């Protein structure tokens, strides 16, 4: 997704959460069973379920994939899948009229929100996380080069290496990187080494945390698929219960 697409999808998800939280201020017990509510339900369900299902089939079935992707790139289909999923969820939330009284309705609404949020996190946040790790690794490489150069300069001056011994602790490293100066007012080579070591430690820790977060997001994407199938099942039960107990659209 491009930056404009990510911004728009983020805004739509924020709008979805705002509409969902509307139950704190508004409830319409009869809207879900009315004709407008029913049309929102059908439209939202079609967008949220049929379009993603078509994308899943195109992506997984090689024969269909080869034929369809000749006309439309898979990345474009993914963008359609994301927009359809978010817009469909918004229509479904509007269909409820903020009436969350039945266990099935609560489960269906919760699963809808989780499907959208897990898909957003798995696709968008994971890509951002991977990009951040790549940038930090490049930064770490630059810091390591600078450290080796500074360490090489210190190798021929044992008396300057001794300046580093008082700054072996965590706080002393932070203080030493700011207090060790040369006569011209610039940072001396010992000060550079202390600052580079602290910077490399920070970047390495950041990479480790981002890598852990990336693993969690990969699991989130797998959870997205499981929740999507659960959503199909709950929606089927919801439609069956509506037909079994009678549709009020035409009454």
Any idea where the domains of the chain sit in the sequence?
3-125+224-245, 134-208
Percent of the chain residues topping a pLDDT of 90: 24
Q: How high is the pLDDT of residue 182?
A: 44
**Model-wide pTM > 0.75:** no
Label residue 217 by pLDDT band (50, 70, 90): confident
Q: What is the mean pLDDT of residues 152-164?
A: 62
Considering Cα of 129, then 131, then 134, then 138, what sign does the dihedral take? Answer: negative
pLDDT digits (tens, 9 = 90+) for 26-59: 778 778 777 788 889 889 989 988 898 899 899 8
Q: How high is the pLDDT of residue 157?
A: 64
Nearest to 49 by CA among 232, 187, 188: 232
Nearest to 31 by CA among 113, 83, 91: 91
Average pLDDT, the chain: 80
User: How far, in Å, CA of 119 to CA of 113, rounded?
Assistant: 10
Please report, to the nearest 10 degrees, the dihedral formed by the alpha carbons of residues 191, 195, 198, 200 taken in order.
-130
Cβ–Cβ contacts within 10 Å for residue 135, how many?
12
For 241, the token pair is 């219960």
Label residue 160 by pLDDT band (50, 70, 90): low
The residue ranking higher by pLDDT, 251 or 114, is: 114
User: How far, in Å, CA of 34 to CA of 21, rounded?
Assistant: 21
Asked if residues 210 and 133 have their Cβ atoms less than 8 Å apart, the reply is yes
Q: What is the mean pLDDT of residues 205-226?
A: 89
Q: What is the mean pLDDT of residues 102-109?
A: 86
Asked if residues 16 and 89 have their Cβ atoms less than 8 Å apart, the reply is yes
Label residue 242 by pLDDT band (50, 70, 90): confident
User: How far, in Å, CA of 95 to CA of 36, rounded?
Assistant: 8
Nearest to 84 by CA among 48, 38, 43, 37: 48
Asked if residues 55 and 81 have their Cβ atoms less than 8 Å apart, the reply is yes
């Amino acid at each position: 997704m491009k930056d404009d697409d990510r911004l728009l999808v983020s805004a739509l998800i924020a709008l979805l959460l705002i509409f969902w939280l509307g139950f704190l201020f508004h409830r319409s017990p009869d809207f879900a069973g009315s004709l407008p509510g029913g049309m929102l339900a059908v439209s939202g369900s079609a967008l949220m379920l049929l379009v993603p299902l078509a994308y899943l089939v195109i992506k997984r079935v090689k024969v269909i994939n080869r034929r369809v992707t000749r006309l439309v790139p898979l990345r474009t289909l993914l963008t359609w899948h994301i927009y359809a999923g978010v817009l469909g969820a918004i229509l479904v939330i509007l269909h409820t009229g903020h009436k969350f009284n039945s266990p099935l309705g609560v489960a269906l609404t919760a699963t809808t929100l989780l499907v959208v949020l897990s898909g957003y996190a798995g696709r968008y946040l994971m890509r951002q996380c991977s990009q951040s790790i790549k940038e930090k690794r490049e930064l770490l490489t630059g810091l390591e080069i600078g450290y080796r150069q500074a360490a090489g300069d210190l190798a021929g001056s044992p008396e300057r290496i001794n300046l580093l011994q008082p700054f072996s602790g965590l706080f002393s490293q932070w203080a030493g990187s700011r207090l060790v100066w040369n006569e011209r007012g610039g940072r001396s080579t010992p000060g550079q080494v202390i600052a580079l070591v602290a910077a490399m430690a920070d970047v390495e820790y950041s990479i480790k945390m981002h890598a852990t977060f990336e693993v969690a997001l990969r699991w989130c994407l797998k959870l997205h698929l499981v929740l999507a199938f659960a959503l199909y099942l709950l929606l089927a039960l919801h439609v069956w219960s509506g037909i079994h107990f009678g549709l009020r659209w035409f009454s």
